[in-house]
Amino acid sequence: MTFDLEHFVAGLSDPAILFGHFTYFLLILSMMMRRITWLRTLAIASGLTKIFYRAVLVPDPVSVFWETIFVLVNVGQLLLIWYYQRYHKFAEHEELFLQSMPANIERRSMRRLLNIATTRSLDVGATLTQEGEKVKELIYIASGVVTIERGDVVVAACGAGDYVGEMSFLTGKTATATARVARPVELLVFDQQQLHAAADSDAGIRRILETSLNQNLVGKLVRTSS
């Protein structure tokens, strides 16, 4: 079967055929959305228009049945998103952590990850890691400033949105530098062993960690080289 361009172009003047193309346009547009709520909403819109198309303009009961299933599944997923957004609230320091994630990260995966975190407030001078010593925690800075020291030299500074101890978490090696609080900090603290176990058993948590730690390492490299 060959593609007849002339017939295709002529068909675009037919409102029924043009409406059929529009249903696929909505579906493609939904796939381009980064936010899962918009993806689901446009997918539902595509399904509803296709149901009308197949029920009224070009009757096809089989397509109507499966498009109805498609719409119902996406409606169910939207209801789940609404439920988690309404009943799984995040504290202010957790919201910063959430905002640092890509838009398509599911809130329920974030909630599972944050359930294994503890919050900690520390004053100036407190030590988070000690150069050459084993690191037991992965630390996320929600607010404040931490200096990174090698020997007696300050080589970098970390602030809100940065991790401390991520290299030790990834490699299992001792701390390459001392991290010391320069301005009072609010922290999210993860026990490394517990976090490794959670990532091994939960694909959603593993994806969050991979994305977040990669972004953080890239950001630190950019700041160091600039």
Residue 64 backbone zone (phi > 0: left; psi -120 to 50: alpha; other: beta): alpha
Give dist(CA 208, CA 163) in Å, integer: 14
List the structure tokens of 103. 């838009």
Q: Which fold has domain 92-225?
A: Jelly Rolls (2.60.120)
List the structure tokens of 81. 């998103």
Contact 54, 64 (CB under 8 A): yes
- pLDDT per residue of the chain (226 residues) written in tens, 0 to 9: 455 555 555 555 667 777 777 888 888 887 787 677 888 888 899 999 989 988 988 888 998 999 999 999 999 988 887 876 666 667 777 777 877 776 667 777 888 888 899 999 999 999 999 999 999 999 999 899 999 999 889 998 999 889 999 999 989 999 999 999 999 999 999 999 999 999 999 888 888 888 888 888 877 776 666 5
List the structure tokens of 151. 């020997």
The domain ranges of the chain are: 5-87, 92-225
How would you class 81 by CB atoms within 10 Å of its CB: exposed for 0-12, middle for 13-18, buried for 19 or more? middle
